[in-house]
Amino acid sequence: MPSDQDSRVTPEGPAPLWVPIRPPGLSAAIHLSEAAARNLALVLEARGIACRLQRSVWGWQLSVPQGLHQRADQELRLHHEENRNWPPTPTAAAKLTDNGLITASVLGLLGLFHSLTFLRASWAPGRQGWLSLGEAAAGKILDGEWWRLVTSLTLHVDGQHLFGNLLIGGVFIILLCRRFGSGQGWCLLLLSGVLGNLANALIQSPAHRAVGLSTAVFGAVGILGGESLLRNRRRLLRRWPLPLAAAGALLAMLGTGGERTDLGAHLFGFAAGTLLGLAVGRLQNHPWPHRPLGNALLAATAALVPLLAWLAAINRSP
């Protein structure tokens, strides 16, 4: 800091050999706030340049010896250039849509469908029949039964499996739909689940089978994480572990395996979601998905895809 002698106010003004210096970025003014003046004085003292502060009715003035004026001006300009964009502009907060009730209602329909799979009727294939028609059987998927990539997301082994996905996964799905809107959110969720199931089928044995929404739930975590990383890329080093930590916590809560569930589908769902999040993050400024018509069309697409997949599965049943 400048010494008390350098910083004191003198009624006569600066000594003749001391000349005021104009801080960079100011076209004409040479008077500063006290905080700005003391900050620049610290810069000059760090460079070994003597300076003094004086206060007037217009503010604080920084002066340097006449012989050091050019050097002081150069040092302040370098300091100004190095700190031009500091501190960085805060990242704009993500806009959220109030659609939690709608998303929770759709999750409720998934629970209702699970109950219907236990229904015994002449028109219903029965519990094992639903599983046989819609589970993600790796060999059958690679043989062209594409609908299993979707239908398997709507099936669950038992009530505990369903409850875990709806209760824990529902938190991430609601966040996803609030961030992107119901239509775009559900489309992204389905796409991450489909891609996760497809990648898993490619590496598993033909006999491998899996069911459950958890592949898409991990996709939701990846989408939110990927988009957040892109939106906060200036603080990437501090934020990149967050989606990985969320995925790890989700694995701990949902488990890493079990009957007709598997770790590979979870990890591939997360990877697919992360890539989708990075991709959609670059397109977030496009207004179409957020307009009422765009959101409605995307919502209709998200609703039709599972319906068409189940119709294809039933039509191909023996």
Q: What is the pLDDT of residues 184-236, one digit of tens each?
A: 999 999 999 999 999 999 999 999 999 999 999 999 988 988 888 777 665 55
Instruction: Give 65's contacts (C-beta < 8 A, 6+ positions apart).
Output: 17, 18, 19, 50
| pLDDT surpassing 70 at residue 87 | no
CB atoms within 10 A of CB 107: 18
Q: Tell me which residue of 56, 32, 52, 55 sits closest to 44, measured CA to CA.
A: 52
pLDDT on residue 112: 93
| pLDDT surpassing 60 at residue 262 | yes
Q: Where are the domains of the chain?
A: 4-82, 100-315
CATH number of 4-82: 3.30.70
| pLDDT surpassing 60 at residue 13 | no
pLDDT on residue 23: 75
> Using CA atoms, how far apart are residues 304 and 138, in angstroms rounded to an integer?
23
Confidence of residue 127 (pLDDT cuts 50, 70, 90): confident
Phi, psi of 60, deg, nearest 5: -100, 145
State mean pLDDT over 107-121: 87
> Using CA atoms, how far apart are residues 220 and 67, in angstroms rounded to an integer?
64
- The CATH number fitting domain 100-315, selected from 1.10.3430.10, 2.60.200.20, 1.20.1540.10, 3.40.640.10: 1.20.1540.10
CA-based radius of gyration for the chain: 31
State mean pLDDT over 8-22: 60
In angstroms, the Cα distances linking 43 to 20, 32, 33, 61, 202 are 16, 15, 16, 15, 61
> Using CA atoms, how far apart are residues 177 and 228, in angstroms rounded to an integer?
14
